[in-house]
Amino acid sequence: MVELSTVDLLIASLLVVLLALLSLRQQSNISRQLIIAAVRTAVQLTLVGLVLKVLFENATLGWVTLMALFMLFVAGREVMMRQERRFKGWWGYAAGTFSMFLSSFAITVFALVVILGNDPWYEPQYAIPLLGMLLGNTMSGIAIAMDRLTHAAWEQRHIIEARLMLGETANEAISGYRNQAVRSGMIPIINAMAAAGVVSLPGMMTGQILAGTLPVEAVKYQILIMFLVSAGTGLGTLAAVHIGASRLFDSRQRLCLDRLREP
């Protein structure tokens, strides 16, 4: 593999700077965001590289768990921030974080123990990237689905209440919006699976090929990841939307929009 030097990366960063300058001329304030995001990428990835180096040298279950929990809590915060009308109080954080914990952790452990079978099973070189890919995708799915659900409940509140008035259960009145929310959370991963290899070469597979792995081997890993990610996203989205939809109603099946924050 060709080793990259700092100079190589600086040359690549010139492209981003060039783009920012172009945007500046069009008087859009996107250039500021672009630069900040680019700097964040460089700093965050450098730090994680150092952290992973230390973690690989100290591969104990305690450190791996600590790293995994840190990733989970950051992802949970990200899910919360991406929702326009999120639940007030700790529910806004817990609904998404708990669903991600349920799906991403369970599936990562399943894949590590049953499919990969390393010794020890939590070997960080496998566990951390796997969990990262699962969390990243599940996070997007849950954020989209929850945003869609709370948005629909707000927009369609009169219809939901009209249905309650006519004697429908909360479940009947919300089910259409719940299904739409799950659907929109899962569309990105379904599209990614459908386009994989034809339209796009997935990033992980590309990375493995660049690192010298045989394409056929890289493809097998990519298929594994795709399946794990779709299962994780699906389960996480279902769980989050289920929790969210029940939180929209109280024990007397009244629509409780005061549990949502104003945008």
Partner 1 sequence: MVGPLSLVVDEGDCLCISGASGSGKSLLLRAIADLDPHEGQALMQGVAATEIEPQLWRSRIGLLPPESYWWLPQVKNHFRNGMPLPLEQIGMSAEILDQPVARLSSGERQRLALMRLLSNRPRILLLDEPTANLDPVNTRRVEEVITSYRRENKAAVIWVSHDVEQVARVANRHYEMRDGGLHATEIEGRQWLS
Q: Least separation, in Å, of the C-beta of 161 and partner 1? A: 6
Q: Which stretch binds partner 1 (CB under 8 A): 37-45, 106-114, 154-162, 237-245?
A: 154-162
Q: Given the rule CB under 8 A, which of 5-13, 46-54, 92-100, 165-173 is the region that contacts partner 1?
A: 165-173
DSSP 119-150: SSTT-HHHHHHHHHHHHHHHHHHHHHHHHHHH
Phi and psi, residue 151, nearest 5°:
-65, -45
Least distance to partner 1 from the beta carbon of 195, Å?
Answer: 33
Of 67 and 247, the one with the shorter C-beta distance to partner 1 is 247
Q: Are 243 and 98 in contact (CB under 8 A)?
A: yes
DSSP assignment string, 216-249: HHHHHHHHHHHHHHHHHHHHHHHHHHHHHHHHTB
Report the distance separating Cα 189 and Cα 130, nearest Å: 16
Our finding on whether 1 is near partner 1 (CB under 8 A) is no
Asked whether position 123 contacts partner 1 by CB under 8 A, the answer is no
* 137: its two tokens: 């995708």
Please answer whether residues 83 and 147 qualify as being in contact, where contact means their C-beta atoms are separated by less than 8 angstroms.
yes
Query: Could you tell me the smallest distance in angstroms from the CB atom of residue 74 to partner 1?
Result: 36
Considering the complex, what minimum distance in angstroms separates the CB of residue 24 from partner 1?
Answer: 47
Residue 161 contacts partner 1 per CB under 8 A? yes
User: What residues between 240 and 259 interact with partner 1 by CB under 8 A?
Assistant: 250, 252-255
Contact residues for partner 1 (CB under 8 A)? 156, 158-159, 161-169, 176, 250, 252-255
